[in-house]
Structure 1
Amino acid sequence: MFDGLGTPTDKKVRVAFPEAGNHVIACDLRSKDWKNVYNQTVAFIDEVILEKTKQYSFDLQGHRGARGLSPENTIQAFEKALDLGVNTLELDVVISKDNKVVVSHEPWLNEEVTLDAKGRKITKKDALAFNIYKNKYKKIKSYDVGSIGNPKFLEQKKEKAYKPLLSELITFAEAKNDQIRYNVEIKSTPKDEKNGFQPSVAEFSDLVIEQLKNAKLSLEKITVQSFDPRVLGYIHKTYPAFTLAFLTYKNDFETNMKMLSFKPKIYSPYFILLNKEEVKRIQSKKMKVIPWTVNKKNDIVNLLKMGVDGIITDYPNIAIPLRK
């Protein structure tokens, strides 16, 4: 446990603790309390070391694959997450003009990361004008969403990539790891529906569920999540066997749950909304707590100490050492 740096005949003994960064404690042998001080110090250092190496059981979800390391929502990002060893692939889906379920966070293009078919950077105006729901998948796939890299994620690898289909992703992931789970977010909002960026809630949900059924996956491997209570309500009523997660970004648990007429199995809030009491309150309702999007180790550790059931992160590599 420690290395003695003195002898019993010295007036002072210095003790180094290699496991705790070689911190040195000086104990004065002339003091009657030196043994108590020393024993307390040893106990403290033991606690520090234990905390540094403590591991937890939790569902590690790679946000948009592994957005911090590879282009988001692309085959490359999901491959990275799989290679790192996540439990679950978290992803977003939208619908194309030809009713394909496309893996994408927005129903338009992101000018920060997108090149057109000729390799030219697109403008913000062009990006917002490109309505995925008004374009066929063949054209959507022609855009490169990886070569530029995301300026918000400096560790993200720059590599040519495209927006894949949900079916393509599942086929790829199953071939690589048939134990992997999926957390599929239906990117629906009343505003996007009104402005023609998505089909109706029923059609949107039906198209996604159809693809998940066609993949012939065990339902235990699938979670469908959404911020839109209408989506969750429709799927709960129409496809009751599917596990649902309620995504939230503001307000407390009780306030948010008033938007639903049923209790989903998972509650997924923005992580800063949680504290230990809130986690216990949610879990007392027999619901799991899986916060998003947690990218700093200290925040991940604090949430695990609170007892959350899972972590959604852009950096699975940070969370892997914390998992049992």
Structure 2
Amino acid sequence: MKNIFIMGVIIGFFSCNSTKMNQQNKMTQFDWQGHRGARGLVPENTIPAMIKAIDLGAVTLEMDAVITADKQVILSHEPFFNHEITTKPDGTPVSKAEEKQLNIYTMSYATTQRYDVGLKGNTRFPQQQKMAVTKPLLLDVIEAADQYALSKNKPLPFYNIETKSQPSTDNQYHPSPKEFVDLLVAVIKHKKISDRVTVQSFDIRTLQYLHQQYPSIATVLLIEDYNKKTLNEQLQELGFTPTVYSPHYSLVNEAIVKDCKLKGMRLVPWTVNDLATMKNLRALGVNGIISDYPNLFYFP
């Protein structure tokens, strides 16, 4: 019992110091983010994907969150089981026709664990390793990633968590923005990562509520490539200046870089999967890059 207590104190000490070191470096270091962990290499939004991203030097683990029927926060890009990656409990693949019927918001967490999201692979990412894996609890992801980083003497990772919601599917595929954010923040606070997390969304309602109720948690405004509004119009609609502006990489130019600097926002575009574009964006002056391939990250 005494040895367990001492080990807990040691881990807590290093955790605290790693967090402080990370926090101090975050605003100055380039923010390499592993998209859905390392989607190009390992099944997306899984613990193995996050571990792979840490191994390859990711500063931040980017991920997507949805809510189960029993109010658990789990990782998933869609609020249903995507036919491209999912195998049913009976071992047969999910079809496109039935995927949206497999609504995670109507399932308990225990039920979601009957569906595999790694054995099938992903035809869009031929390098992705196939493995038996399920959609994990956010709580377990944070615990596993932090423990792994500490065991490898690496800085504790940052977390960039997207709320997967939109007005048209409220209370059908996910709870209201308020409940969604409250459930997410409860996990963030329980794991004591408020200073190592950003919450991102295309759904500005979740960002607005987060900013009002939990102003100490950093926000990220996501922008689709087809969004034709100006930066000023987007911020006016949001109602405040987020910590990070995160557009599709095709929207980044010198004017956007300059405007973000003037407004005090970090600029972290998504999703960049080739080295030449990464280098061009860094030369323009972005503050970070989100990629499916953390093996392309470079550290000059």
> Structure 2 length as normaliser, TM-score?
0.86
Runs of 4+ that moved beyond 4 A: none
The C-alpha deviation readout for 1:38-63, integer Å capped at 9, x for no partner, is xxxxxxxxxxxxxxxxxx95100000
Q: In structure 2, which of residues 173, 180, 190 is the aligned counterpart of residue 197 of structure 1?
A: 173
1:315 is aligned to 2:278: no
Q: Give the number of the structure whose alpha-carbon radius of gyration is greater.
A: 1
The C-alpha deviation readout for 1:180-201, integer Å capped at 9, x for no partner, is 110011111001216x111011
What is the CA-CA distance between 1:298 and the residue it aligns to? 1.0
Higher mean alpha-carbon deviation, 248-257 vs 306-315, is at: 248-257
Q: In structure 2, which of residues 55, 65, 78 is the aligned counterpart of residue 93 of structure 1?
A: 65
1:146 is aligned to 2:121: no
Equivalent position of 1:241 in the other structure = 216
Query: How many pairs were matched up?
Result: 265
The C-alpha deviation readout for 1:241-290, integer Å capped at 9, x for no partner, is 10111001123322321211111111000110010121111111111000
SS in 1 for 2:143: helix
The C-alpha deviation readout for 1:39-98, integer Å capped at 9, x for no partner, is xxxxxxxxxxxxxxxxx9510000000000000001111111111111010000000000
Equivalent position of 1:185 in the other structure = 162
Could you tell me which runs of 5 or more consecutive residues in structure 2 were left unpaired when the two chains were aligned.
1-27, 151-155
1:230 is aligned to 2:205: yes
Aligned letter for 2:169?
Answer: D
SS in 2 for 1:177: helix
Q: In structure 2, which of residues 275, 282, 292 is the aligned counterpart of residue 304 of structure 1?
A: 282
Aligned letter for 1:181?
Answer: F
Distance 1:111 1:95 in 2: 19
Aligned letter for 1:279?
Answer: V
Q: In structure 1, which of residues 157, 163, 173 is the aligned counterpart of residue 145 of structure 2?
A: 173
Distance 1:231 1:94 in 2: 13
Distance 1:115 1:131 in 2: 15
Aligned letter for 1:268?
Answer: S
Q: CA RMSD in A?
A: 1.2
Could you tell me which runs of 5 or more consecutive residues in structure 1 were left unpaired when the two chains were aligned.
1-55
Distance 2:295 2:176 in 1: 38
% identical equivalent positions = 43
Q: In structure 1, which of residues 246, 250, 257 is the aligned counterpart of residue 235 of structure 2?
A: 257
Higher relative contact order (CA 8 A, sep 6+): 2
Aligned letter for 2:233?
Answer: T
SS in 2 for 1:92: strand
Equivalent position of 1:212 in the other structure = 188
